[in-house]
């Protein structure tokens, strides 16, 4: 059953602030070459991120609801069909049980996820299922996840997804260009993607688990932003290491540097492996601490996740009832 969409909040423009998207800038190779990230120091910061701050009770409930609104509810499987994608879209519109929202005093606030994220083939299904809502469809693109096809094929894929109705395109970069230090090549590749996206917003997946060093992560982040990324995203979810805190710290610091350099705010999307409500809080703390409150919303922050929502729902019910919850008490996607 499709849930009626609520009229209140308009879905904010992705990766923008004050209506302005990151236009990119000329590639500054000196800046890129000057980047060096100290892994041990970053790991030390990462290890205390969730220990220096603690969000409890009402604050925890509110923060978890915020996390829900930032989720790109995702299914990217070989066996995806219209039926499970439709279910996902239904869940996207009503991610938290209505009675829980009422108990939290949030029934008059539209709580939906940030977007629904699917493969190209399922865009039309999703579009149908989300009709009448403001929830954007994100499509993974450019030879996701490995990016091992031609640039022409990649550009075609973007264009056809946009035509099919995707308002957000999650592109993957060519890891080989990063590993070989071909920053110019990466810049032009991503710039072309951005152009192909047109009005659709572009999330740039770095596949950090395959970039070898944090220095590479920082350099690739910076190049992608210079090339006009609206968001930078950690992972496809298919690498062996996905969204981990040291990578997150490195990327948000790159976003901060880019903002200080250009005045444009680029969004951040950790994806892959984030399954627990507690982890979601740690990522939100990271954003608040390193980037600031302006980034704490779906226009500049997303989780790429499929099972995170379930744990958040259970924690919210625990807050409301005082009893530990169970998965079957919450509608599945």
Partner 1 sequence: MNVKTIFENMTYGPAPESAQNAEQWIESHQKKFQLFIGGQWHKPSSKKYLQSVNPATEERLARIAWGGKKDVDHAVKAAKKALPGWSGLSGHQRARYLYAIARQFQKNSRLFAVLESLDNGKTIRETRDIDIPLVTRHFYYHAGWAQLQDKELADFQEVGVVGQIIPWNFPLMMLAWKIAPAIAMGNTVVLKPAELTSLTALLFAEICQQAGLPKGVVNIVTGAGDTGALLVDHPLVNKVAFTGSTRVGRIIRTNIAGSGKKVSLELGGKSPFMVFDDADLDSVVEGVVDAIWFNQGQVCCAGSRLLVQESVAKKLYKKIRARMEKLRVGSSLDKSVDIGAIVSPMQLNTIETLVKKGVEEGGTLWQPSWACPSDGFFYPPSLFTDVSPSSTIAQVEIFGPVLVAMTFRTHQEAVKLANNTRYGLAASIWTENINLALDIAPKVKAGSVWINCTNVFDAASGFGGYRESGFGREGGKEGLYEYLKPKLKLSDKPVKRAVSRRVAKSNGSLKIDRTAKMYIGGKQARPDGGYSLPVLNPGGVQIGEVGDGNRKDIRNAVEAAHSGAKWRNMSGHARAQVIYYLAENLEARKEEFIQRLVNMNGLTPAESQLEVELSIDRLFTYAAYADKYDGLVHNTLFRNVTLAMPEAIGVMALVCPQEFPLLGFISTVIPLIAMGNTVVVVPSEVAPLCATDFYQVMDTSDVPAGTINIVTGNQQALSEVLSSHFDVDGMWYFGTSDGSKVVEDAAAENMKRTWVNYGKFRDWRDSKQGCGEEFLRQATQIKNIWIPYGA
> Which chain residues interact with partner 1 by CB under 8 A?
36-45, 48, 51-59, 61-63, 65-66, 104-106, 109, 212-215, 253, 284, 288-289, 293, 296
Is the Cβ of residue 59 or residue 99 nearer to partner 1 in the bound state?
59
Closest approach, Cβ 57 to partner 1, in A, equals 7
| Bridging pattern class, strands 168-172 and 231-233 | unpaired
| Cβ(96)–Cβ(53) below 8 Å | no
Closest approach, Cβ 53 to partner 1, in A, equals 5
Buried b (16+ CB within 10 A) or exposed e, 262-276: eebbbbbbbbbbbee
DSSP code string of 233-257: E---S-SSS-S-HHHHHHHHHHHHH
> Catalytic residue at 265?
no
Is the Cβ of residue 292 or residue 331 nearer to partner 1 in the bound state?
292
Is the Cβ of residue 7 or residue 48 nearer to partner 1 in the bound state?
48
Closest approach, Cβ 38 to partner 1, in A, equals 4
- For the chain, the first-to-last Cα distance in angstroms comes to 12
Instruction: Give the whole-angstrom CA distance, residue 147 versus residue 157.
Output: 12
Closest approach, Cβ 177 to partner 1, in A, equals 19
Closest approach, Cβ 310 to partner 1, in A, equals 20
User: Of the residues 170, 177, 203, 219, which is catalytic?
Assistant: 170
User: Of the residues 154, 177, 233, 265, which is catalytic?
Assistant: 233
Sequence-ordered list of residues with C-beta below 8 angstroms from that of 244, at least 6 positions apart, any chain: 46, 234, 273
> Catalytic residue at 6?
no
| Cβ(252)–Cβ(268) below 8 Å | yes
> Catalytic residue at 269?
yes
Half-sphere exposure of 81 (CA within 13 A, CB side): 2
Is the Cβ of residue 138 or residue 207 nearer to partner 1 in the bound state?
207
Is the Cβ of residue 27 or residue 62 nearer to partner 1 in the bound state?
62
SS3 210: helix
Q: Which residue numbers are catalytic?
A: 170, 233, 269
């Amino acid at each position: 059953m499709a849930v009626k969409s609520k009229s209140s909040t308009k879905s904010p423009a992705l990766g923008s602030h004050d209506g302005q998207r990151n236009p990119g800038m000329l590639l500054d190779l000196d800046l890129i070459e000057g980047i060096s990230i100290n892994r041990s120091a970053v790991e030390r910061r990462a290890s205390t991120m969730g220990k220096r701050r603690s969000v409890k009770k009402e604050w925890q409930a509110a923060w978890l609801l915020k996390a829900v609104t930032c989720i790109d509810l995702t299914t990217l499987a070989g066996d995806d069909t219209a039926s499970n994608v439709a279910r996902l879209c239904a869940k996207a519109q009503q991610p938290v049980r209505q009675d829980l929202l009422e108990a939290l005093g949030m029934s008059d606030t539209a709580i939906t996820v940030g977007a629904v994220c699917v493969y190209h083939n399922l865009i039309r299904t999703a579009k149908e299922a989300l009709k009448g809502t403001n929830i954007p469809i994100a499509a993974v693109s450019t030879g996701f996840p490995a990016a091992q096809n031609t640039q022409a094929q990649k550009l075609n894929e973007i264009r056809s997804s946009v035509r099919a109705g995707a308002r957000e395109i999650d592109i993957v970069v060519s890891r080989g260009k990063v590993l070989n230090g071909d920053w110019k090549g990466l810049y032009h590749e991503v710039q072309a993607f951005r152009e192909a996206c047109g009005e659709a917003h572009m999330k740039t997946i770095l596949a950090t688990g395959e970039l070898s060093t944090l220095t590479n992560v920082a350099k690739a982040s910076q190049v992608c932003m210079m090339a006009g990324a609206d968001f930078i995203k950690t992972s496809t979810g298919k690498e062996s290491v996905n969204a981990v805190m040291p990578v997150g710290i490195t990327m948000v610091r790159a976003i901060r540097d880019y903002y200080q350099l250009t005045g444009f705010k680029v969004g951040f999307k950790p994806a892959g492996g984030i399954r627990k409500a507690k982890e979601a809080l740690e990522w939100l703390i990271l954003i608040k601490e390193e980037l600031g409150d302006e980034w704490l919303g779906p226009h500049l922050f997303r989780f790429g996740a499929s099972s995170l929502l379930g744990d958040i729902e259970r924690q919210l019910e625990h807050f409301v009832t005082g009893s530990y919850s169970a998965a079957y008490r919450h509608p599945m996607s």
